A and B are shown apart, each in its own frame.
Chain A
Amino acid sequence: GIQVEQSPPDLILQEGANSTLRCNFSDSVNNLQWFHQNPWGQLINLFYIPSGTKQNGRLSATTVATERYSLLYISSSQTTDSGVYFCAVEPGGSEKLVFGKGMKLTVNP
């Protein structure tokens, strides 16, 4: 089945710093989602981005489907950005999301 690799696995930042999270996938995909799992365990949709670039406030995402990767940018990080970030892909011909193992972000004040 499709493999989804996220990097880095862990990241510690000072408040105000920028960061880039990467998601590589091993096969073609119909769709890709980025999620933030907050410290209370809730999964928050960040982006639904099968291709192209989207921006939402301090966050933006880019997916290059032909090269099988996606990037999530966090600018001017805040302590509330702390949590685990997941990339999930929907392989071609499937309705099923396959998740990466996640990236734990800690933003210190």
Chain B
Amino acid sequence: NAGVTQTPKFQVLKTGQSMTLQCAQDMNHNSMYWYRQDPGMGLRLIYYSASEGTTDKGEVPNGYNVSRLNKREFSLRLESAAPSQTSVYFCASRFLNQPQHFGDGTRLSIL
């Protein structure tokens, strides 16, 4: 049982490059989330998807786009990466009114 799987685990980009972070869950959860964690801080919500075909903004959505490809997969795209987007990105999923389960994170550095 893999739970929540994020790819890649590490990535280095140059300013202005684009990339997509992938997330997949095998628990048949309805809701999926993307967070970022900056040093010394808790996680902040970027976007979430309450169900397949729906997405909504979180606390820090600027500079990101998301796609809920199907029930299993929720991707996060950086169209033009900026150094301020250097962070650790976490994906999570859950059933409504149940605990969120997190992936192991993607460490992204933008030079």
Contact = CB atoms under 8 A, between A and B. Distances in A.
B58 interface: yes
Contacts, number: 51
Contact of B58 (A41, A96, A100): A96
Interface residues of B, number: 24
A86 B41 CA distance: 10
B42 A95 contact: no
Nearest to A30: B97
A43 B33 CA distance: 14
B90 A97 contact: no
A71 to B, nearest CB: 18
Interface residues of A, number: 21
A45 B42 contact: no
Pick the most buried of B42, B44, B98: most chain A CB atoms within 10 A of its CB: B42
Contacts of A35: 102
B97 A97 contact: no
B40 A41 contact: no
B100 A33 contact: yes
Interface of A: 1, 4, 30-31, 33, 35, 41-43, 45, 48, 86, 88, 95-102
